[in-house]
Chain A
Amino acid sequence: MLNITKESNANKLTFGLEGRLDTTTAPDFEAKIKESLDGVTELVIDMKSLEYISSAGLRVLLSAQKIMNKQGTMVVTNANDDVKEIFDVTGFSDILSIE
């Protein structure tokens, strides 16, 4: 299960993720990102309530990062220790801006 909240303020867009970003839920998040990024220059992905991320979730983050590299910035916030460890192991700590 993944609950996705979306908050838009001028050119800034914030997604809040709650639950699991995995093979089952990643396609939904990817679709929401793709339909929402027009004109966005500041993308924030708030992982405060994200428990779990698998490689399917990492794929979505990487494709979002590639899009945002062309049009603005992307920041990942509030990731828990388990999620941060996965970012470290996979080198995503160097690719993403994690706050």
Chain B
Amino acid sequence: MKELDIEAKIEKLDDVLAFVDGILEEAECSPKVQVQIDIAVEEIFVNIAHYAYDPNEGRALIKAGVTGDPALFSIEFSDAGIPYNPLAKEDPDVTLSAEDRPIGGLGIFMVKKSMDSVDYEYRDGRNVLTITKGITK
């Protein structure tokens, strides 16, 4: 597992994606799965950056790696911010018309749909969100 301890700020998103992409490229992840994982990572990190420490600032600790055969990518995001379980939020109604749909609320839903598992726990004063995705072509 590799670790990245980083300021939880939107401006750091590119650094987070570079960290993740480095791991995925080393593991020869398919480009399609890499795009899906990047999207999931963006949604999770941006949520932490927006809300975890609002209105203050803080850090996020990210641990990621690839294990096993078939290869499984896993990534854990943790922060010491406001306790918040994003999985407890109800899924958006994706059948509504453009007029009736609220702008937003899709991020975590996209993560749930595209990843193999998404788990949340509050542990030792930290929000810990772990996602996994098989990356074998």
Contacts and interface: CB of A to CB of B under 8 A. Distances in A.
B29 to A, nearest CB: 14
B103 A90 contact: no
A54 B99 contact: no
Interface of B is mostly: helix
A89 interface: yes
A-side interface size class: 20 to 34
Interface in B1-25: 10, 13-14
B56 interface: no
Where chain A touches its partner, the secondary structure class is helix
Interface of A: 22-24, 51-56, 58-59, 62-63, 65-66, 69, 81-82, 86, 89-91, 94-95
16 contacts: A23-B10, A58-B106, A62-B98, A62-B101, A69-B99, A81-B32, A82-B32, A82-B36, A89-B110, A89-B113, A89-B114, A90-B94, A90-B109, A91-B94, A91-B96, A94-B95
